Structure 1
Amino acid sequence: MSCLSFLSQFKPISRQYHNAVSLESACKILQVPLNKTNTPNYVSYEQALSLVKSGDSLYTQAAANSPTPLWKALVKRIDSGNLKDLSMHHIITIGETPWLNEHYYDKIRTKSLFICGNARPAIAQGKADYIPIFLSQMPQYFSQMEKKFDASLVSVSPPDEHGFVSMSLTVDCSHAALQNSKKVIGVVSKNLPRVFGDAIVHISHFDALVEDHSYEPFELPATKYGPQDPETIIGKLIAENLVDDEATLQFGIGGIPDSVCSFLTGHKNLGIHTELLCDGVYELIRDGVINGTKKSFDNGLHVSSFVIGTKRLYNLMNNNPEFKLKCSSYTNNVEMVAKSNKMTCVNSCIEMDLTGQIVSDSIGYKFYSGFGGQVDFITGAGMSYDNKGKAIIAMTSRTPKGISKIVPVITEGSGVVTNRGLTKYVVTEHGIANLFGKTIAQRAYELINISHPDDREKLEKATFKRLKCMPSKD
C-alpha cells in the first residue's frame, strides 16, 4: 500500500460536520460556500471574542499570519475575569504574544506543535506543553482529536466579489484546524496578500470577522552574511556541489537556506515544493531561475505550506496564480516528495553524533524547537522515484559559544528526530560528508573531517573509545 493510500484511510471531520473525506481532498471543503452570503458582516473585536467561552480549546494561525489583534482581544477578555481554563494549539508564533505572558499561565494552557522563543519559558517551567509531531501528520492529529477545537483564530485577506478570502501566507495545518473547529474567528486586512491554493476559504465558514486594515503581516528578511562567514561557505558548497539544474527544492527554517539561494543564480529551471517559502527565493523566482517547468507535478507552480519573507515577496505572491499554498498533508506527504524531480532538501539541526543521529528539537533536557517537516522531506528524498533525491543537513561546525555540533554521543536528555539510517549528506563550512551506505567507522571518519579542526583530535579519541577502532575511510 502506498503512503498516500495509507493516509487516505483516515477520515477528517470538517468544522460543519460534512460527510467525512480523505486527507487528500479534505482541504477543498472550505472552498465550498455554506450559503450564498458574499458580503461579510463585520463585528468588533469584543463581539468576535465573545464567542470564546471558559474551558474552550483554541487553535491559532501563526508565522507571518500571526493574528496579534485577536490575541490582544483574547487576553483583554481574560483580564476582565470572563475567561479561564483555555487551551491554545499553535505552531510558530511570531511577534507579540500576550497570552504567553506568565500572568496568563493559569488561565490559558499552551500546546505548542513547534516551539518558538516566546513559548520556551512556559514549556521549560512546565506551564505549557510541547507536542512532538511531524508537520505532515498535524492535519491527521486534528481530525482524530477526541475534542474538536471550539474556535480557531486566523487572519485573512478581504473577500472578493464571490465572498472568498485568502488565508494568505499560512496554510500549513491551519486549514485543517478550521475544518475541525466549531467556530472560526478572523481579522480581515487589505495588507495581507491574496494567495491561492488551499488558502482560499468562503466567508460563510466564518462565525465572526473583524475588519482591521492597520494589521500587517510579519516580515523576516533574508539573512545576509559576510564572505567568510560559515553560513556563506556552507551555502556555496551546497549550491555548487549538491544542487543540480532542474532540481526541486525544499528549505527548512534558518539563515542557511537564504545563503544557498544566493549562490543559485546561475542554475536553470529549478522548482519549489517545500513546507516553508523564505525570502531568499525572491530574486530566483523574479529572474526565472526558479520557474517550476521541470517539476514532475504542479508544473510551473511554486508550492509551499507557509511563507515567511518580506513585502517584496508578499507583493510578488499577491493575486499571482504561479504561487500555491497547500495543506501540510500535501506538501509534506512523503510520497509527493518522493515523486518530485531531483528532490533536494536542505535542513539543519542542533546536534549530530558520530553515527549520524540528528537532534533537532531539544538541547539536552530543554525542548527548543520541534520536528517540523525535516523527517518528512528527508524520508521522501531518500525514496525518490528518479533515484536523484538529495537529503542535506547543513549546519555550522560549532555553536556561537564555540561548542562542536558534531559530538561523540548525543547530549543526555536530547531526543533523536532523524535516525542515522536516513542521514545522507551533511555539510559544514569545512566540507561535505556523504554517509549513505557507510559503516559506523566510515561515518565517524566523514563527520570528523567536516568538524572544526580544533575538535577533530578529541572526536577521534572518542570514536576509538566508543567503537574500539579508529575512524576509517575504508
Structure 2
Amino acid sequence: MDWKATYQDKIVSAAEAVKCVKSGDTVVLQQAAGTAMHLMDALTDRASELKDVKVIAHNIWETPRFLEPQYAGIFRHVSQFLDRGTRQAYREGRVDPLPAFYYQMPKYYREHPADVFFVMLTEPDEEGNCSYALNADYSVANMEAAKTVVAQINPSLPWTYGAKVSLDKLDYIVIQDQPLPELTKSETGGVEEQIAAHIVPFIQDGACLQLGIGGLPNAILNFLKDKKHLGIHSEVLSDGIIDLYESGAIDNSCKTLDKGKIVSNFLIGTKRLFDFADHNPDLLVVPVDYTNDPYVIAQNDNVISINSCLQVDLLGQVNADTIGGRQYSGCGGQIDFVRGAQMSKGGKSFITLPSTAKKGAVSRIIPHMETGTPVTTSRFDVQYICTEYGVVNLAGKTVSQRAEALIGIAHPDFREELRRQAVEEGLIW
C-alpha cells in the first residue's frame, strides 16, 4: 500500500486518539522541547473519566496542566529528572522521582512496556519515514515496546538524522503544529569563567567533548575558539556548540567512533539550534543507550566529560541532585560520562561547582554529607573536582590527601573551619 494512503488512514483528532488511554494505564511522554503537549492536554481534558494514570516523562520545562493540583489522584507523574516545570508539583506530592541511570532507561521501558506512548515526530519524508527530531533518547525503545503509539506530527520540528520511524509503527496520527519552547543561552559570570579557565588547559586539540547546558559549558566553549579538530559525543546539545562548528574548531575528524559526526540523544536550545540541526548531515540524534553507555563513550579517545554538582564532601562524594535530602533534579547522565570518560584512552572527567552558595554564606565543599543526602557520584568514581579556586585530581589519592586537596579549592573563608572539622573527624591529622 502507498504510504500516503496509510498516513491518511491513521489521522484522527487528538480527542479521538487519547481515548485509547484507560484508568490505570502508563503513558510515556518525550522530554524537553520535544514533549507532545498537545496530546497530553487532550488527555487532561478527559480527566473526569480517568483515575490513577501514571505519566512518565523526563525533564519537562513548563508546568503542564496534568500536574495542576486538581488532577491529583487522576495523574501520577514519574520522572528521572526534575526541572523547573515539575519541582513545585514534587514539593506538593504529585511527582514521584525515579532513581535510574539515564542510559539504562531504554532497557527499563523494554522490560516495563508503556500502555501508550505519546511521541512528537516530523512530517514523513519521501519514503514515508518520520524523524524523531529533537528526542531519540528513550523514544526509540518506547516506539518498539509500547502497546499503543500516538504520534503528533509537528511541522515545526527539524529533521535530524540518526533515528527514524516508519508509519506502520504508529497506531494513531494527530497533525498539530506546536511551537517549540526555547531555552535561551545562559549568560556566563565571573565564577563560571574562572572555573572554565582551570579546565580549558586539559582540553587539547582533537579532544572529544561532553558538556551539559548552562553558563559553565558556555564559558568553556567560549575559551575553545583557537582549538582544532574537536569532537562532540554528548547526551544533550545546546546552542553553545554552533559557533565552534561554524568556525571549524569542531569537525569531529579525530573521533575514533562516529568520525565526522556530532552525536547526541536530545537537543535543548533556541530556534538557532533547531535550524542548525535541520537536515544537518554532520549531526546524529540517536538513543541514550548508545550515547550514554560508558562502554560506547570509551570507544572515543581523549573524552573530556564536564558536569556540575551541588556539593562535594571531603571524601570526594558528589551530590548533584538533591537539596536537604529532597530531590532537586536527577543524576541525568553524569555517572555515565564520569565512567565512560575515564575508560577512554586519554580521557578525563570533571565535576564542577562554585565554591559557595547563598551569596557566599554556605560552602559547597563540606566535611561530610548530611544524613539523608544521597550520593550521586561515588568517591570511587570521581576524578577531577573544580571550583573557581582550582582543580584537583582525586583519583589515586588517599582519604587525607583528598581532604587536603579539596580544602585547597574551597572558598578561603571556609578553609580553616573545614580543616578543623576534617581533623575532628579523623580525615587528616
Same fold per superposition (TM over 0.5): yes
Structure 2 residue identity aligned to 1:204: D
1:253/1:347 contact within 8 Å kept: no
Aligned residue in 1 for 2:58? 91
1:346/1:392 contact within 8 Å kept: yes
Over 6 Å off, 4+ runs: none
> What per-residue deviation string (whole Å, max 9, x for no partner) do you get for residues 346-397 of structure 1?
001111101110111211221111111111111111122x2x1110011111
Aligned residue in 2 for 1:251? 211
1:64/1:218 contact within 8 Å kept: yes
1:210 is the counterpart of 2:174: yes
Counterparts of 1:105 and 1:88 in 2: how far apart (Å)?
Answer: 12
Aligned residue in 2 for 1:22? none
Aligned residue in 2 for 1:11? none
Counterparts of 2:243 and 2:81 in 1: how far apart (Å)?
Answer: 29
Aligned residue in 2 for 1:132? 99
**Distance apart, 1:404 and its partner CA:** 1.1
Structure 2 residue identity aligned to 1:207: D
Helix, strand or coil at the partner of 1:467: coil
TM-score, normalised by the number of residues in structure 2: 0.96
Q: Give the RMSD, CA atoms, in angstroms.
A: 1.5
**Distance apart, 1:236 and its partner CA:** 2.5
Aligned residue in 1 for 2:186? 223
1:184 is the counterpart of 2:145: no
Aligned residue in 2 for 1:143? 110
Aligned residue in 2 for 1:418? 377
1:395 is the counterpart of 2:353: yes
1:134/1:371 contact within 8 Å kept: yes
Aligned residue in 1 for 2:38? 69
**Distance apart, 1:125 and its partner CA:** 3.9
Percent identity between the two aligned chains = 36
Structure 2 residue identity aligned to 1:52: V
Counterparts of 1:210 and 1:437 in 2: how far apart (Å)?
Answer: 55
1:38/1:161 contact within 8 Å kept: no
Counterparts of 1:49 and 1:424 in 2: how far apart (Å)?
Answer: 47
1:364/1:412 contact within 8 Å kept: no
Aligned residue in 1 for 2:327? 367
1:48 corresponds to which of 17, 22, 40: 17
1:290-329 counterparts in 2 under 5 A? 290-329=250-289
> What per-residue deviation string (whole Å, max 9, x for no partner) do you get for residues 434-471 of structure 1?
1111111111111111111111111111111112634x
Aligned residue in 1 for 2:165? 201
2:193 corresponds to which of 227, 232, 235: 232
Counterparts of 2:94 and 2:220 in 1: how far apart (Å)?
Answer: 38
2:78/2:98 contact within 8 Å kept: yes
1:159 corresponds to which of 78, 99, 124: 124
Structure 1 residue identity aligned to 2:187: K
2:213/2:237 contact within 8 Å kept: no
Structure 1 residue identity aligned to 2:156: N
Counterparts of 1:465 and 1:88 in 2: how far apart (Å)?
Answer: 47
**Distance apart, 1:118 and its partner CA:** 2.6
**Distance apart, 1:202 and its partner CA:** 1.2
Gaps of 5+ in 2: none
Structure 2 residue identity aligned to 1:295: K
State how many pairs are aligned.
Answer: 425
2:131/2:161 contact within 8 Å kept: yes
**Distance apart, 1:221 and its partner CA:** 2.2
Structure 2 residue identity aligned to 1:57: T
Structure 1 residue identity aligned to 2:27: L
Aligned residue in 1 for 2:241? 281
Structure 2 residue identity aligned to 1:275: E
1:392/1:425 contact within 8 Å kept: yes
1:344/1:381 contact within 8 Å kept: yes
1:186/1:208 contact within 8 Å kept: yes
Counterparts of 1:429 and 1:412 in 2: how far apart (Å)?
Answer: 27
Counterparts of 2:88 and 2:149 in 1: how far apart (Å)?
Answer: 29
> What per-residue deviation string (whole Å, max 9, x for no partner) do you get for residues 333-355 of structure 1?
11111111200000011111011
1:267 is the counterpart of 2:227: yes
Query: Larger deviation: 249-258 or 447-456?
Result: 249-258
1:338/1:380 contact within 8 Å kept: yes
**Distance apart, 1:425 and its partner CA:** 0.8
Helix, strand or coil at the partner of 2:306: strand
**Distance apart, 1:271 and its partner CA:** 0.3
2:400/2:427 contact within 8 Å kept: no
Counterparts of 1:401 and 1:108 in 2: how far apart (Å)?
Answer: 38
1:45/1:73 contact within 8 Å kept: yes
**Distance apart, 1:127 and its partner CA:** 3.2
Counterparts of 2:161 and 2:33 in 1: how far apart (Å)?
Answer: 16
**Distance apart, 1:300 and its partner CA:** 0.4
Gaps of 5+ in 1: 1-34
2:365/2:406 contact within 8 Å kept: yes
Query: Larger deviation: 162-171 or 123-132?
Result: 123-132
Counterparts of 2:427 and 2:75 in 1: how far apart (Å)?
Answer: 52
2:341 corresponds to which of 376, 381, 384: 381
> What per-residue deviation string (whole Å, max 9, x for no partner) do you get for residues 259-297 of structure 1?
111111111000011111121111011211111110001
2:67/2:94 contact within 8 Å kept: no
2:404 corresponds to which of 445, 448, 460: 445
Aligned residue in 2 for 1:21? none
Helix, strand or coil at the partner of 1:316: helix
2:210/2:234 contact within 8 Å kept: yes
